[in-house]
Structure 1
């Protein structure tokens, strides 16, 4: 029998792939621009993301357990989490619109603790944060994530 985290990870990958296809509607996928500012992204991450996802991108305790009394705890954004399992388009949209709205646009009702930051951060600032997060991953993980972006 496979451990539960592996099954959760596999499910997250499959769901992410489905949402990426649905979000782009067959159009060209969103990709991180070339002109990102990783240092600005690090500062913005600390200001807007660290309270939930940790100052070292470590996430909240028991993030894989799910929330029996509400949304699941915030996952890590380092290489131990599932952020790198998703392409750039889904990462951007999820950050801009929030979890519930991203999925609601696809007709899926989902309770998410992830708020949308589209009203408080510019698109460029969201990309800077994503670039910062990605810059902390080992090369192999970044290569896998880039492949997933291409698959979107």
Structure 2
């Protein structure tokens, strides 16, 4: 009887150790799944990336050109308010002011709408593209736009990006 009790205790001990180990491993695995997340890819608008620029050209033609122009020229008289008080769509070529802004701001304006930056109550015809365009599409459009700028505008905009990141 004493030997059987010892064997049962040993078996229970082994099961307890195995169960405890499984519990610890499962808990660590679960915690690891929540604690470790792969970092989101750092996406940039790279006017030298021909694939990104080509993607941006397509998305721009489908989503942006109707307001900002097929050649990024914007709407006529874009600095003067329309009768409804809103400003026309500005150009995104070198004649506009897009290159004066850091990429992160351009991305946010496109994704969230101008309301993310404008004073309270400001109205714009520019929609927010969240839920319409993927982030990669927005970055691609920005790469396409930047690819049209002369080297001096790209260089100055890159410096703006650098200052914004500090």
Structure 2 residue 120 is the aligned partner of structure 1 residue 108 = yes
Deviation, structure 1 residue 47:
0.2
Which structure is richer in relative contact order (CA contacts within 8 A, separation 6 or more)? 1
TM-score (structure 2 length as normaliser): 0.67
* TM-score (normalised: structure 1): 0.73
Shift of residue 65 of structure 1?
A: 1.2
**Aligned-residue offset at 1:113:** 1.4
Give the match for residue 152 of structure 2: 140
Q: Structure 1 residues 129, 114: closer, same or farther in 2, change over 3 A?
A: same
Q: Which of 137, 142, 146 matches 1:125? A: 137
The CA RMSD measured in Å over matched residues stands at 1.9
Q: CA deviation at 1:151?
A: 1.4
- Give 5+ residue unaligned stretches, structure 2: 1-41
Aligned pairs, number: 120
| Shift in alpha-carbon separation, 1:87–1:135, aligned structure 2, 3 A | same
Whole-angstrom CA distance in 1 between matches of 2:120 and 2:159 = 26
8 A Cα contact 1:95 1:126, kept in partner = yes
Q: Which runs of 5+ in 1 are unaligned?
A: 1-29
Distance in 2 between residues matched to 1:41 and 1:76, nearest whole Å: 16
User: Could you tell me whether the CA contact under 8 Å between 1:99 and 1:113 is conserved in 2?
Assistant: no
Q: Residues 151 and 109 of structure 1: is their aligned pair in 2 closer, same or farther, counting only changes over 3 Å?
A: farther
Q: 1:68 deviation in Å?
A: 4.4
Contact 1:103–1:109 at 8 Å: present in 2 too? no
1:80-126 Cα deviation digits (max 9, x unpaired): 001001000110000001112x136xx63311111111111010110
